[in-house]
Amino acid sequence: MADIQHQDARKLLDIISSALKNGERLTYWEAARRMGRVPPGKHSRAVAQMCDLLDAAACIAGVPLLALVAVREKSGEINPKAWKNEYGPRRDAIIKRSQDHRFLREDLEAISSALDGLGERGNTKAWAYVKSLYPGDLLYKRLIADYADAIPSAIDDLGTDSPDRTQSETWSYARDPKVREAVLKRANGKCEFCGKLGFMKTDGTRYLESHHVIALAADGADRLTNVIALCPDDHREAHFGARSEEIEREMILRLRALNP
């Protein structure tokens, strides 16, 4: 059943994408109708479960919860039960983040890739998996993109395909700038971990830093599958934060979604 739910969720993502382009607002009933479910009213619950699965993928991708605001009740109201039991009035911040966000093609692609990474988990198991990645209040912070505790600083960690070593008092690695350029192009100005846009530079591009998830010194590959584009806060925390090991695991999953 879970694999069928995944197939249906992908169809729903395409329907949502089309609705966004046309400035339309979907209801569970209308989404079911467009998916060919007859009669649509009997399939609203199934559509809600597909939305739940898509939002689990969005959370992993670091994207605001798209389906939460894109598919609504017949009245136009956002699902009144969503996040109510978990967070009460605090759910408003989750909703506001999604409502304020302008969803781009890159966001939908990130959700689709993260859906791949969830394997055949249905919506319930998908969220159980997400909660294992972000235990306790970390999930809420993830949902509202609260990274205020990260250390505001920067490190520059460049890249190369075949690192050469030169000996001085320690070993150092020559890094190929082409890898860094390719990673930054893939990121398109947005932190690939938290989704925040890098600040604007004088040349009109966004500032991000490249980071080897598994360090070269630990035999990490210097390829696109091991290098991620980060905002300065996340980069510093990845190196020096108390959660560095947890962040490394999360980044490995994120890179799997970016490089299916």
170 and 208 assigned to the same domain: yes
H helices within the chain, ranges in order?
Answer: 2-21, 28-34, 44-61, 66-70, 84-87, 91-100, 105-117, 123-133, 138-144, 177-187, 232-240, 244-258
Answer whether residue 62 is part of any domain.
yes
- The CA-based angle 74-108-85, given to 5 degrees, is 50
95 and 173 assigned to the same domain: no
pLDDT recorded at residue 158: 44
Say if residue 215's pLDDT is above 80.
Answer: no
Confidence band of 127 (pLDDT split at 50, 70, 90): very high
User: Residue 186 is part of which domain span?
Assistant: 165-258
Answer whether residue 151 is part of any domain.
no
210 and 87 assigned to the same domain: no
Answer whether residue 201 is part of any domain.
yes
Answer whether residue 135 is part of any domain.
yes
pLDDT recorded at residue 155: 35
Q: Is-contact 241 215, C-beta < 8 A? A: no
208 and 126 assigned to the same domain: no
Confidence band of 80 (pLDDT split at 50, 70, 90): very high
User: Which phi-psi region, left, alpha or beta, contains residue 87 (left: φ > 0; alpha: ψ -120 to 50)?
Assistant: alpha
- Residue 174: which CATH number? 1.10.30
- Identify the domain boundary among 111, 144, 177: 144
Q: Is-contact 72 21, C-beta < 8 A? A: no
Answer whether residue 159 is part of any domain.
no
Among the listed ranges 69-78, 99-108, 160-169, which one has the minimum average pLDDT value?
160-169
Question: How does DSSP classify residue 42?
Answer: G
172 and 240 assigned to the same domain: yes
136 and 35 assigned to the same domain: yes
For 157-180, the pLDDT digits (tens) are: 445 555 555 544 434 444 557 778
Say if residue 138's pLDDT is above 90.
Answer: no
Most confident of the following: 25-39, 125-139, 227-241: 25-39
Pairing of strands 165-167, 171-173: antiparallel
The tokens describing 90, both together, are 């605090």
Sign of CA dihedral 247, 250, 256, 259: negative
Q: Is-contact 158 175, C-beta < 8 A? A: yes
74 and 169 assigned to the same domain: no
- Identify the domain boundary among 144, 175, 191: 144
Better-predicted residue by pLDDT, 217 or 137: 137
- Identify the domain boundary among 77, 112, 144: 144
29 and 85 assigned to the same domain: yes
Say if residue 108's pLDDT is above 70.
Answer: yes
Phi, psi of 76 (to 5 degrees): 95, 0
191 and 122 assigned to the same domain: no
Q: How many domains does the chain have?
A: 2
State the CB neighbour count (10 A cutoff) for residue 199: 11
Say if residue 128's pLDDT is above 60.
Answer: yes
Cα-to-chain-centroid distance, residue 71: 19
Among the listed ranges 108-112, 173-177, 238-242, which one has the minimum average pLDDT value?
173-177
Q: Scanning the structure block, which residue is given the tokens 């598994």?
A: 214
Cis check for the bond before 39: say yes or no (omega within 30 of 0): yes
Q: Which residues contact 93 (CB under 8 A, 6 or more apart)?
A: 144
190 and 110 assigned to the same domain: no
pLDDT recorded at residue 170: 39
Answer whether residue 160 is part of any domain.
no
Better-predicted residue by pLDDT, 13 or 119: 13
Evaluate if pTM is beyond 0.75: no
Instruction: State percent of the chain over pLDDT 90.
Output: 39
Please give the average per-residue pLDDT across 109-118, as a whole number.
86
Answer whether residue 34 is part of any domain.
yes
Better-predicted residue by pLDDT, 196 or 178: 196
122 and 215 assigned to the same domain: no
Dump the DSSP string for 216-228: GGGT---STTTEE
Q: Is 220 exposed, middle or buried (0-12, 13-18, 19+ CB in 10 A)?
A: middle
pLDDT recorded at residue 222: 63
Answer whether residue 149 is part of any domain.
no
56 and 103 assigned to the same domain: yes
Q: Is-contact 142 122, C-beta < 8 A? A: no
